[in-house]
């Protein structure tokens, strides 16, 4: 039976990765040195095991936006905020900027036919390599950590034909949904100052940028559009002063990592009927997904708060989000703290279908499997998702 349809505006939804306790090996004394020895011939160091099975949460943020949106300032503020609260933090530099600042002149882009694709192919390789390497370092450390990426892999699609971008992704054995939804826990888009704060727009502080305000607005809109479909896309416009804009981003990051915040994450609406795709305006980009949500055994639990001696309720579910033949998997644990009346979501990306199927074996058969159709779209610089419950 089909239920009512609801819509939610996203503003910093949490998405995170939980880990398990690392496996440890038995030290042995050899020639005066301590060696890590196990009976497993493929045994590795504790750090390497941490990479495979992180013992602490790891969070990955893609910080993107249009020209002169404030990314540099926000990145520095986010890093300081998280470090001061006990997180290990690394920042992944913008790959295109790295290429330009190391000798590539912007005139190369149009020098000969095919140069944009070669450049974006190089940028994609650098981006993926740096992100994966920095992620491994943070996970190996074994402590709660955050990787803040100056732009995400999808940003490259703005500067080339989309079919060529798909080809670059596929030659790496991936699909577009893998790099859009499977790499980052959340995406923060900072709208260009050319959109709503024109008096502050400038390119003088960034040698990589040369856009006019009109061009900046076009790039900004295209950049938002390529991320439509990510379940945790948050857009930070210029409806407030810049300091408040950055504070909104910090609050969204606090939601992500489970720190206290009074920021409102999203608003839900009940729609009277299911919208038809053919009724969407031609200028509105949208993406359609099929979602399966499976609640797990023992997912409703009562844990006593040591300070207030009050029960904290908790439940957990896994989710498969499919578009065509590609699927992304995740797990969410929701805890309600009765002492603060705060509901905290902790999410992690499930890497493989095999792991998802294994977890589904712990399904709570007393609860229904929820099947949804979700439509993600942008409207007036806001991100929306329509959830239609099929069963």
What percent of the chain has pLDDT above 70? 81
Q: Residue 43: its pLDDT value, please?
A: 53
Question: Do residues 241 and 194 lie in contact, with contact meaning Cβ atoms separated by under 8 Å?
Answer: no
Provide the token pair at 1.
């039976």
Q: Which of 231, 148, 213, 220 is nearest to 189 (CA)?
A: 220
Residue 216 has pLDDT above 50, yes or no: yes
- Considering the entire predicted model, what is its pTM? 0.72
Residue 328 has pLDDT above 90, yes or no: no
Please give the residue that has the higher pLDDT: either 314 or 209.
Answer: 314
Whole-angstrom CA distances from 350 to 99, 134, 325 are 33, 19, 17
- Greatest mean pLDDT among 101-110, 125-134, 169-178 lies in 125-134
How much is the average pLDDT of 164-191? Answer: 93
- The pLDDT mean for the chain works out to 81
DSSP conformational letter for 310: -
Q: Give the strand pairing for 5-10 and 186-190.
A: unpaired
Assign 286 to helix, strand or coil: strand
Q: How far apart are CA 57 and CA 282, in angstroms?
A: 41
pLDDT digits (tens, 9 = 90+) for 330-359: 888 887 777 666 677 777 778 788 888 889
């Amino acid at each position: 039976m089909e239920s009512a349809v609801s819509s939610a505006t996203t503003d910093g939804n949490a998405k995170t990765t939980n880990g398990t306790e690392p496996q440890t090996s038995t030290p042995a004394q050899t020639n005066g040195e301590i060696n890590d020895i196990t009976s497993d011939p493929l045994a590795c160091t504790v750090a390497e095991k941490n990479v495979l099975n992180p013992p602490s949460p790891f969070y990955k943020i893609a910080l993107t936006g249009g020209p002169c949106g404030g990314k540099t300032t926000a990145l520095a503020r986010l890093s300081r905020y998280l470090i001061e609260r006990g997180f290990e933090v690394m920042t992944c530099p913008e790959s295109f900027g790295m290429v330009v600042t190391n000798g590539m002149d912007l005139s190369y882009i149009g020098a000969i036919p095919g140069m944009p694709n070669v450049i974006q192919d190089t940028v994609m390789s650098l981006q993926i390599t740096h992100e994966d390497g920095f992620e491994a370092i943070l996970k190996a450390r074994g402590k709660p950590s955050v990787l803040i990426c100056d732009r995400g892999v999808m940003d490259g699609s703005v500067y080339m034909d989309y079919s060529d971008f798909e080809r670059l992704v596929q030659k790496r054995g991936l699909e577009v949904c893998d790099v859009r939804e499977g790499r980052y826990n959340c995406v923060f888009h900072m709208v260009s100052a050319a959109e709503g704060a024109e008096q502050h727009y400038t390119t003088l502080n960034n040698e990589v940028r040369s856009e006019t305000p009109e061009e900046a607005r076009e790039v900004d809109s295209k950049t938002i559009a390529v991320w439509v479909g990510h379940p945790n896309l948050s857009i930070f416009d210029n409806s407030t002063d810049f300091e408040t804009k950055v504070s909104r981003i910090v609050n969204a990051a606090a939601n992500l990592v489970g720190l206290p915040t009074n920021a409102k994450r999203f608003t839900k609406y009940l729609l009277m009927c299911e919208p038809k795709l053919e009724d969407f305006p031609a200028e509105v980009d949208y993406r359609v997904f099929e979602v399966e949500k499976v609640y797990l055994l023992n997912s409703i639990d009562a844990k006593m708060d040591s300070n207030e001696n009050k029960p904290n309720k908790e439940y957990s579910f896994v989710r498969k989000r499919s578009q065509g033949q590609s699927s992304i998997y995740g797990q969410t644990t929701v805890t309600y703290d009765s002492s603060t009346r705060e509901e905290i979501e902790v999410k992690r990306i499930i890497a493989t279908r095999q792991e998802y199927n294994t977890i589904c074996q712990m399904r709570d058969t007393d609860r229904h499997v929820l099947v949804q159709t979700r439509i993600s779209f942008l409207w007036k610089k806001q991100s929306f998702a329509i959830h239609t419950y099929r069963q």
